Amino acid sequence: MNGYNRIRSAFEGTTPDTVPIMLHNFQLAAREAGFTQEKFRNDARCVAEAFIKSVETYRYDGIYVEIDTATLAGALNAEVRFRLDEPALAFRGCLKDWKDIEKCKSVDISGYKYIQVWLASVRLLRDYFKDEIFIRGNCDQAPFSLASMLRGMQKWFLDLYDNDHRDQVFELLEFCADVCSQFVGMMAQAGAHGISNGDSVAGPTMVSPEVYQKFALPFERRVIMKAHEYGLPYILHICGDTTKILDQMPASGADGIELDYLTDARKARAAFKNNVVFSGNIDPSGVLTAGTPDEVKKAVYRLLSEFSGTPKFILCSGCSIPPSAPPENIKAFISAGREFHNRYSELH
Per-residue pLDDT of 257-285, as tens digits, reads 999 999 999 999 999 988 999 999 999 99
Which of 14-18, 23-27, 147-151 is least confident?
A: 14-18
Question: What's the mean pLDDT in 84-97?
Answer: 94
Under the banding of pLDDT at 50, 70 and 90, the label for residue 237 is very high
What pLDDT was estimated at residue 348? 34
Distance CA 198, CA 237 (A): 5
Using pLDDT thresholds of 50, 70 and 90, give the confidence band for residue 309: confident
Percent of the chain scored above 90 by pLDDT?
A: 94
pLDDT for 126-174, tens place per residue? 999 999 999 999 999 999 999 999 999 999 999 999 999 999 999 999 9
Show Cβ contacts of residue 334 under 8 Å, excluding neighbours closer than 6 positions. 21, 58, 59, 60
Architecture per CATH, domain 3-11+19-347, reads as: Alpha-Beta Barrel (3.20)
Handedness of CA 23, 24, 28, 30 (dihedral sign): positive
Report percent pLDDT > 70 for the chain: 98
Which is higher by pLDDT, 237 or 340? 237
Under the banding of pLDDT at 50, 70 and 90, the label for residue 342 is very low
pTM, two decimals, is 0.95
Span 208-213, average pLDDT:
97
Report pLDDT for 345.
Answer: 41
Give me the residue spans of the domains in the chain: 3-11+19-347
**What pLDDT, on the 0 to 100 scale, is given for residue 341?**
61
**How far is the C-alpha of 59 from the C-alpha of 57, rounded, in Å?**
6
* Mean per-residue pLDDT, 70-77: 97
Task: Give the pLDDT score at 346.
Answer: 43
Q: What is the spatial distance between Cα 188 and Cα 297, in angstroms, rounded to a whole number?
A: 35
Confidence bin at 347 (pLDDT 50/70/90): very low
Task: Specify whether the CB–CB gap between 299 and 322 falls below 8 A.
Answer: no
Q: Check residue 340 and give its pLDDT.
A: 84
